Protein backbone atom coordinates (compact mmCIF):
# COMPACT_ATOMS: atom_id res chain seq x y z
CA UNK A 1 0.00 0.00 0.00
CA UNK A 2 1.18 3.50 -0.67
CA UNK A 3 1.85 6.06 2.04
CA UNK A 4 -1.37 7.88 1.09
CA UNK A 5 -3.56 4.79 1.50
CA UNK A 6 -5.32 4.67 4.88
CA UNK A 7 -4.50 1.72 7.14
CA UNK A 8 -6.64 -1.36 6.78
CA UNK A 9 -9.29 -2.00 9.40
CA UNK A 10 -8.63 -4.84 11.83
CA UNK A 11 -11.18 -7.63 11.57
CA UNK A 12 -11.93 -10.28 14.16
CA UNK A 13 -14.06 -13.39 13.79
CA UNK A 14 -14.72 -13.48 17.53
CA UNK A 15 -15.98 -9.89 17.53
CA UNK A 16 -18.09 -10.53 14.44
CA UNK A 17 -19.64 -13.69 15.84
CA UNK A 18 -20.61 -11.89 19.08
CA UNK A 19 -22.86 -9.64 16.99
CA UNK A 20 -24.57 -12.59 15.25
CA UNK A 21 -27.62 -14.43 16.53
CA UNK A 22 -26.90 -17.95 17.83
CA UNK A 23 -26.76 -20.50 15.01
CA UNK A 24 -26.33 -17.90 12.27
CA UNK A 25 -23.88 -18.76 9.48
CA UNK A 26 -20.35 -17.38 9.69
CA UNK A 27 -20.68 -13.84 8.29
CA UNK A 28 -18.63 -12.34 5.50
CA UNK A 29 -15.74 -10.08 6.52
CA UNK A 30 -16.66 -7.68 3.68
CA UNK A 31 -16.84 -4.06 4.80
CA UNK A 32 -17.60 -2.59 1.37
CA UNK A 33 -14.04 -1.43 0.63
CA UNK A 34 -13.38 -3.57 -2.43
CA UNK A 35 -9.90 -2.94 -3.78
CA UNK A 36 -7.16 -5.51 -4.26
CA UNK A 37 -3.73 -4.43 -3.02
CA UNK A 38 -1.22 -5.19 -5.76
CA UNK A 39 1.61 -5.89 -3.33
CA UNK A 40 -0.22 -8.47 -1.22
CA UNK A 41 -3.08 -9.69 -3.42
CA UNK A 42 -5.51 -9.08 -0.55
CA UNK A 43 -8.58 -6.88 -0.51
CA UNK A 44 -7.86 -3.57 1.21
CA UNK A 45 -11.13 -3.87 3.15
CA UNK A 46 -11.59 -7.49 4.13
CA UNK A 47 -8.06 -8.92 3.72
CA UNK A 48 -9.29 -11.80 1.52
CA UNK A 49 -7.79 -12.99 -1.76
CA UNK A 50 -9.85 -12.92 -4.95
CA UNK A 51 -10.29 -16.71 -4.71
CA UNK A 52 -11.55 -16.42 -1.13
CA UNK A 53 -13.98 -13.68 -2.11
CA UNK A 54 -15.25 -15.59 -5.15
CA UNK A 55 -15.75 -18.81 -3.19
CA UNK A 56 -17.40 -17.30 -0.13
CA UNK A 57 -21.00 -17.77 -1.26
CA UNK A 58 -20.62 -21.52 -1.74
CA UNK A 59 -18.32 -22.16 1.24
CA UNK A 60 -19.46 -24.03 4.34
CA UNK A 61 -18.94 -22.57 7.81
CA UNK A 62 -15.75 -24.59 8.40
CA UNK A 63 -14.18 -23.12 5.27
CA UNK A 64 -15.38 -19.64 6.19
CA UNK A 65 -13.76 -20.00 9.63
CA UNK A 66 -10.49 -21.00 7.94
CA UNK A 67 -10.68 -17.88 5.79
CA UNK A 68 -11.27 -15.78 8.89
CA UNK A 69 -8.24 -17.42 10.53
CA UNK A 70 -6.17 -16.55 7.46
CA UNK A 71 -7.39 -12.95 7.70
CA UNK A 72 -6.37 -12.72 11.34
CA UNK A 73 -2.98 -14.23 10.50
CA UNK A 74 -2.46 -11.71 7.70
CA UNK A 75 -3.36 -8.86 10.04
CA UNK A 76 -0.87 -10.16 12.63
CA UNK A 77 1.97 -9.94 10.11
CA UNK A 78 1.53 -6.19 10.04
CA UNK A 79 1.55 -6.17 6.25
CA UNK A 80 -0.70 -3.53 4.74
Residue 8 pLDDT level (bands cut at 50, 70, 90): low
Which residues are registered as beta bridge partners of 73?
none
Q: What is the pLDDT of residue 78?
A: 63
Backbone angles phi, psi at 43, to 5 degrees: -65, 135
Length of the chain: 80
Q: Are 52 and 45 within 8 A, CB to CB?
A: no
Output the pTM of the full model: 0.81
Q: What is the pLDDT of residue 79?
A: 59
CB half-sphere exposure, 39, CA atoms < 13 A: 6
Tens-digit pLDDT profile for residues 21-73: 988 999 999 999 999 999 999 999 999 999 999 999 999 999 999 999 999 99
Distances (CA, A) of 29 to 2, 3, 33, 75: 23, 24, 11, 13
Amino acid sequence: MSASTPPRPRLSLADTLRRQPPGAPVPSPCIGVCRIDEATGWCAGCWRTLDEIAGWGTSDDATRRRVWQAIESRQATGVG
